[in-house]
């Protein structure tokens, strides 16, 4: 494979157990574009969910897609090191940029310096430096400016021309936009729309000739009165037609007497129910007598009659004639335009059109737009001071991940601290939701928690990594408390768990704990079955006695004899197994027995310890970040020693140090404990020595032999003694 040549002399260091490039100077930042992308720790990171200045992240994310990629970081580094003189000062992370540090030999640097001075002038400050705080509030910076480049003019933009200022205020009262100064103003589009509306409204009003108003100034009120009765009158004439068609329907179409009678109480208070009845008593002649209408409709009928001069008796044709008179007026109303300026009144609209200050307003807009470059430059100063303060820290979390491995700092992806099960963990990452299938590749024990705060009205999910302690008390649904980096507390609930080893010590006991849990579960299950069976038998016996039936069967000695025989057989098998073990150990020394025990323990716990050891060496925070939208380009290992700094366990003082009674009780327990322990150890040692002696194992101690073998002395003749060789 062809290697990429590095023209710039990069320096490297071991960070988190991995070799990474070490950014130590402004020149390193200036030459980031020459760094091989394979050597970057991160290739992409999200702009959301990070503990970092949001403005700075937006400045780096030039395409505003919510992701910061290598090219954007390089462009930012090149621009930043170009407009300031001392690139090394970026490493200080200062929130104040001295004017002497602006690179005036660069056009952008000179422009930014001029804008920085303008900011201080607008704020009424006199100094030779600018800070993040000075650029934080653009509204304050542009508060007293007439023209600020946003294409919006305010009444102040008109200067001493009070008429023009008044006109801007009038237009802004109809439609407006917020100027950079924080005041309501108008744009060119607002001006064009306003004058078009004025012209349309004037033309529409002029189209309203006298023949459009059949009832003069009362036409609008007359139309409203007719519209209020239109449906009810149509209903009346239809009832008349039905009666003319078949008089047998008269009773059904007339006032419903039963419904009127069902009204309980004051009829005057039941006008709504009465209004549901016909407008008048229908008849086959189809005449509507306006003086004999439903009392609930009388006021409306009288108003219509007064406004339209309707006759006292109406038939359907005369009613339609009245409706027809409103045709031109309705068409004129339907063609209405410029309604947004109607509140000004026709006289005011005509005066505005006559003065015609539209050109003057548009000229103000052009003057404001002419300041756009300066205004953007002023905003760019805010970008400069934000990057000057925060960019080096961002690089330490992007190119190197140095902050993550620094015990005195926190990485930008560390969201806060989770307290659970007498421990706290600082490796908490905000995530979109549980992603165990990806995060399990990290080799870490992860708690996914849903965090909510009713006080702040916020909720989010975190992945909390545990790197120390036991996990016996952890389960899904367990509640905890999460604190963000600002100290706000949230209720946290475990929603999912990714199970991985936390320590080799935990792995050693893991097989035994699993067996213990299995035995405990079996015992609980058997006990439950026995309890259920006993309760069933007791219930049956009680029911039998209550029913007066035959008593339970007498005690069966043969049955219990068989049980005792089975128990005896089981004990015999256990004894035989122990005898086999003793026979297997016969002839070996005590230390060999200890080795065998150690080997057995190793065979049981060794595999889980080995697996845990391998996983602990490979624990990597990268998959967790990948599940949250990061593109991690290198390993970010969390070794055992470093992991202990991420999770803190509870430490309690000894009980005797805080409780006098406990101290005295402990002294008594210690005395009797030592006394009993020595006695028991002595007894066990004596017994063990004899057992070892019985099976032929050499004991390191001389043990008391309760049955000494008598020494046999043989008679030896002198000749035999001389013949016998000396030992």
Q: Which pLDDT score, from 0 to 100, does residue 210 have?
A: 86
Rounded Cα gap, residues 165 and 484, in angstroms: 50
Average pLDDT on 411-432 reads 93
Higher pLDDT, residue 419 or 576: 419
Mean pLDDT is lowest, of 35-44, 356-365, 626-635, for 626-635
Q: What is the mean pLDDT of the chain?
A: 82
Check whether 17 has a pLDDT greater than 70: yes
Q: Which pLDDT score, from 0 to 100, does residue 264 have?
A: 75
Average pLDDT on 515-536 reads 70
Rounded Cα gap, residues 350 and 516, in angstroms: 95
Mean pLDDT is lowest, of 177-181, 355-359, 398-402, 611-615, for 611-615
Q: Which pLDDT score, from 0 to 100, does residue 398 have?
A: 94
Calculate ∠ Cα 536-542-545, nearest 5°.
140
Average pLDDT on 524-544 reads 71
Q: How far is C-alpha 608 from the chain's CA centre?
A: 36
> Angle, to 10 degrees, between the axis of helix 358-369 and the axis of helix 162-174?
90
pLDDT tier at 387, thresholds 50, 70, 90: very high
Find out whether 226 and 323 touch, Cβ atoms under 8 Å: yes
Q: What percent of the chain has pLDDT over 70?
A: 77
Check whether 688 has a pLDDT greater than 70: no
pLDDT tier at 562, thresholds 50, 70, 90: low
Average pLDDT on 677-700 reads 64
Q: Which pLDDT score, from 0 to 100, does residue 645 have?
A: 87
Mean pLDDT is lowest, of 39-48, 347-356, 593-602, for 593-602
Find out whether 511 and 604 touch, Cβ atoms under 8 Å: yes
pLDDT tier at 258, thresholds 50, 70, 90: confident
Rounded Cα gap, residues 518 and 514, in angstroms: 6
Q: Which pLDDT score, from 0 to 100, does residue 2 have?
A: 46
Q: What percent of the chain has pLDDT over 90?
A: 47
Please state whether 153 falls in left (phi above 0), alpha (psi between -120 and 50) or beta. beta
Mean pLDDT is lowest, of 199-203, 417-421, 696-700, for 696-700
pLDDT tens column, 470-501: 887 889 999 999 999 999 999 999 999 988 87
Rounded Cα gap, residues 67 and 47, in angstroms: 6
Q: Which pLDDT score, from 0 to 100, does residue 719 have?
A: 47
**3-state secondary structure string, 636-679?**
CECCHHHHHHHEEECCCCCHHHHCHHHHHHHHHHHHHHHHHHHH
pLDDT tens column, 703-722: 444 454 444 444 444 444 44
Q: Which pLDDT score, from 0 to 100, does residue 506 have?
A: 62
pLDDT tier at 546, thresholds 50, 70, 90: low
Higher pLDDT, residue 597 or 142: 142
Give the up-direction half-sphere exposure of residue 546: CA atoms within 13 A in the CB hemisphere. Answer: 6
Check whether 403 has a pLDDT greater than 70: yes
Average pLDDT on 248-276 reads 83
Rounded Cα gap, residues 578 and 563, in angstroms: 23
Higher pLDDT, residue 330 or 267: 330
Phi, psi of 86 (to 5 degrees): -95, 95
Phi, psi of 581 (to 5 degrees): -65, -45
Mean pLDDT is lowest, of 82-91, 139-148, 212-221, 450-459, for 139-148
Q: Which pLDDT score, from 0 to 100, does residue 598 have?
A: 66
| 3-class DSSP assignment, residue 53 | coil
The DSSP symbol for 399 reads: T
Mean pLDDT is lowest, of 261-265, 305-309, 626-630, 699-703, for 699-703
Check whether 328 has a pLDDT greater than 50: yes
Average pLDDT on 511-522 reads 65
Per-domain residue ranges of the chain: 12-142+371-405, 155-207+342-369, 210-259+270-334, 413-500+620-651, 505-541+562-618, 661-717
Q: Which two tokens stand for residue 135?
A: 């650029």
Q: Which two tokens stand for residue 568?
A: 């005896």
Q: Minimal CA–CA distance to 433: which of 418, 446, 417, 420?
A: 446
Beta strand 647-649 pairing with 423-425: antiparallel
Q: In this structure, which long-range contacts are made by residues 372-379, counting pairs with CB atoms below 8 Å and at least 24 apart in sequence?
A: 372/149, 372/150, 372/151, 373/149, 374/115, 374/118, 374/149, 375/142, 375/148, 375/149, 375/150, 375/180, 376/149, 377/111, 377/112, 377/114, 377/115, 378/115, 378/118, 378/119, 378/138, 378/141, 378/142, 379/138
Rounded Cα gap, residues 388 and 392, in angstroms: 8
Average pLDDT on 206-223 reads 90
Q: Which two tokens stand for residue 639?
A: 């070794």
Other Cβ atoms less than 10 A from the Cβ of 11: the count is 10
Q: Minimal CA–CA distance to 56: which of 384, 485, 377?
A: 384
Residue found under tokens 């079955």: 529
| 3-class DSSP assignment, residue 469 | coil
- Which secondary structure element, helix H or strand E, spans residue 409, and what is its range? none
Per DSSP, helices labelled H in 125-261 are 138-141, 162-174, 188-206, 219-245, 250-253, 257-261
Rounded Cα gap, residues 58 and 68, in angstroms: 9
Q: Which pLDDT score, from 0 to 100, does residue 727 have?
A: 38
Average pLDDT on 74-99 reads 95
Calculate ∠ Cα 138-144-147, nearest 5°.
85
Q: In this structure, which long-range contacts are made by residues 485-489, counting pairs with CB atoms below 8 Å and at least 24 apart in sequence?
A: 485/51, 485/410, 485/414, 485/415, 485/416, 488/453, 488/455, 488/456, 489/453
Q: Which pLDDT score, from 0 to 100, does residue 453 have?
A: 95
Check whether 429 has a pLDDT greater than 90: yes
Instruction: Give strand pairing partners of 19.
Output: 14
Burial of 575 (0-12, 13-18, 19+ CB in 10 A): exposed
pLDDT tier at 510, thresholds 50, 70, 90: low
Q: How far is C-alpha 633 from the chain's CA centre?
A: 26
The DSSP symbol for 184 reads: E
pLDDT tier at 193, thresholds 50, 70, 90: very high
Q: Which pLDDT score, from 0 to 100, does residue 575 have?
A: 55
Find out whether 482 and 428 touch, Cβ atoms under 8 Å: yes
Check whether 659 has a pLDDT greater than 90: no
Average pLDDT on 88-104 reads 95
């Amino acid at each position: 494979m062809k290697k990429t040549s590095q023209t710039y002399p990069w320096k490297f260091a071991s960070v988190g157990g991995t070799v990474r490039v070490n950014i130590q100077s402004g020149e390193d930042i200036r030459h980031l574009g020459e760094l091989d992308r394979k050597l970057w720790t991160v290739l992409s990171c999200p702009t959301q969910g990070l503990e970092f200045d949001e403005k700075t992240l937006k400045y780096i994310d030039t395409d505003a897609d919510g992701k910061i990629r290598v090219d954007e970081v390089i462009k930012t580094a090149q621009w930043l090191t170009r407009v300031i003189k001392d690139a090394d000062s970026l490493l200080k992370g200062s929130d104040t940029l001295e004017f002497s540090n602006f690179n005036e030999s660069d056009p952008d640097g000179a422009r930014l310096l001029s804008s920085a001075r303008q900011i201080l002038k607008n704020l009424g400050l006199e100094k030779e430096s600018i800070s993040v705080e000075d650029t934080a509030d653009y509204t304050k910076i542009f508060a007293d400016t007439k023209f600020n480049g946003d294409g919006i003019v305010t009444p102040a933009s008109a200067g001493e021309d009070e008429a023009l200022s008044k006109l801007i205020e009038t237009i802004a009262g109809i439609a407006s936009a917020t100027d950079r100064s924080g005041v309501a103003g108008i744009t060119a589009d607002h001006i064009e729309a306003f004058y078009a509306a004025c012209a349309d409204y004037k033309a529409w009003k002029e189209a309203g000739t006298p023949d459009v108003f059949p009832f003069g100034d009362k036409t609008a009120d007359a139309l409203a009165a007719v519209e209020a009765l239109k449906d009810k009158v149509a209903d009346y004439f239809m009832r008349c037609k039905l009666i003319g068609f078949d008089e047998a329907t008269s009773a059904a179409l007339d006032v419903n007497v039963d419904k009127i009678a069902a009204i309980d109480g004051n009829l005057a208070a039941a006008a709504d129910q009465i209004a549901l009845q016909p407008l008048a008593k229908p008849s086959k002649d189809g005449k509507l007598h306006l003086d004999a209408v439903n009392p609930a409709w009388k006021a409306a009928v009288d108003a219509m009659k007064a406004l339209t001069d309707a006759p006292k008796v109406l038939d359907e044709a005369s009613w339609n004639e009245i409706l027809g008179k409103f045709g031109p007026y309705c068409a004129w109303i339907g063609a209405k335009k410029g309604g947004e300026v109607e509140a000004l009144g026709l006289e005011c609209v005509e005066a505005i059109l006559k003065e015609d200050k539209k050109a003057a307003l548009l000229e103000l807009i052009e003057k404001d737009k002419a300041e756009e470059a300066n205004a953007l430059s002023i905003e760019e100063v805010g970008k400069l001071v934000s990057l000057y303060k925060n960019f080096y820290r961002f690089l330490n979390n992007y190119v190197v991940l140095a902050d993550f491995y620094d015990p005195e700092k926190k990485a930008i992806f560390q969201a806060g601290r989770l307290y659970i099960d007498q421990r706290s963990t600082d490796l908490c990452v905000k995530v979109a939701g549980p992603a165990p299938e990806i995060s399990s590749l990290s080799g870490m024990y992860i708690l996914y928690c849903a965090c909510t705060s009713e006080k702040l009205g916020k909720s989010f999910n975190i992945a909390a990594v545990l790197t120390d302690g036991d996990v016996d008390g952890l389960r899904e649904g367990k509640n905890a408390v999460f604190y963000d980096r600002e100290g706000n507390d949230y209720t946290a609930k475990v929603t999912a768990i990714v199970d991985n080893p936390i320590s080799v010590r935990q792995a050693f006991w893991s097989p035994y704990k699993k067996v213990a849990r299995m035995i405990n579960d079996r015992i609980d299950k058997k006990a439950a079955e026995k309890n259920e069976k006993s309760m069933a038998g007791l219930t049956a016996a009680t029911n039998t006695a209550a029913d007066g039936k035959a008593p339970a069967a007498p005690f069966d000695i043969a049955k219990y004899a068989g049980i005792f025989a089975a128990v005896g057989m089981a004990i015999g098998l256990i004894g035989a197994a122990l005898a086999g073990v003793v026979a297997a150990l016969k002839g070996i020394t005590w230390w060999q027995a200890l080795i065998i025990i150690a080997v057995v323990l190793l065979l049981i716990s060794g595999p889980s310890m080995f697996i845990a050891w391998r996983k602990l060496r490979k624990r990597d925070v990268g998959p967790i970040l990948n599940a949250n939208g990061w593109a991690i380009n290198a390993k970010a290992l969390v070794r055992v020693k470093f992991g202990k700094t991420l999770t803190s366990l509870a430490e309690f003082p000894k009980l005797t140090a805080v409780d006098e009674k406990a101290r005295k009780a402990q002294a008594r327990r210690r005395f009797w404990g030592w006394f009993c322990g020595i006695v028991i150890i002595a007894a066990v040692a004596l017994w063990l020595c004899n057992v070892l002696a019985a099976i032929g194992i050499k004991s390191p101690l001389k043990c008391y032999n309760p049955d000494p073998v008598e020494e046999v002395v043989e008679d030896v003749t002198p000749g035999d003694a001389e013949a016998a060789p000396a030992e």
